[in-house]
Amino acid sequence: MPRIADHGERRRQIAAAVCELISEHGLDAVTVARTAAAAGMSVGLVQHYFRTKDEMLLHAFSEVSAAIRGRADERIRAGVEHRRPIARVLAEAMTEFVPLDEKRRTEFRVTRAFGGRALDAPALAEVDVETARRLRQDIAQAVHNGKECGEVEADLDPWPAAVRLAAVTEGLALQVYRDPAGVNGVTAAELSAAVIAAELAAVFTGECRQYAGRREPGG
């Protein structure tokens, strides 16, 4: 029987090749021919899936944004399943956007490159804006949920808090990318945890009623 092509997998391979080229050589290094070579495909096959370089870039940007988003969502799902305090779950989700390992450093470099190109490319800008909007929405929802359970003061407006926490996450990611070894003997992971914890503590000032008196494992 003839082998049936996995079109989704081929599109993912092409996106991965684009990201590899951007990470190692920059956005200008991406061409259809180089992408085909990196993906182990023919130029014709790449063009079968993406007629233009811009289509290929848009798909790659969407894929890397979805990968980051997926990990954050998984942190949230796990936190809900294990009934963890909202502030702790949100801290874990925010950390997925910080380049604390090689995979996330590559993703950060790629998203920064796309972010620059998005200034002049409306289709890329839509992905960039939607990614930022989803992060703010998730944080605002977490703050709202915190108000309902007692972790957040009842009169606090979720949206200014969400904008601030999203800005802290984005700024922290840039700082860690610039200094991956950390600062003054403190590792990047330790710094990130401390910054995120301090910012969340200013918003999540109470204790969720369902966790009152309950100790976390290892706490």
Domain definitions of the chain by residue range:
60-208
Residues 124 and 142: their CA atoms lie apart, in Å, by 28
pLDDT in tens, 165-195: 999 999 999 999 999 999 999 999 999 999 9
pLDDT in tens, 63-96: 999 999 999 999 999 988 888 899 999 999 999 9
DSSP code for 134:
H
Confidence (pTM): 0.84
Residues 37 and 31: their CA atoms lie apart, in Å, by 10
Quick one: average pLDDT of 133-142?
94
Query: What is the average pLDDT value for the chain, to the nearest integer?
Result: 90
**pLDDT confidence of residue 187:** 96
CATH number of 60-208: 1.10.357.10
3-state SS class at 186: strand
Asked if 195 contacts 168 with a C-beta cutoff of 8 angstroms, the reply is: yes
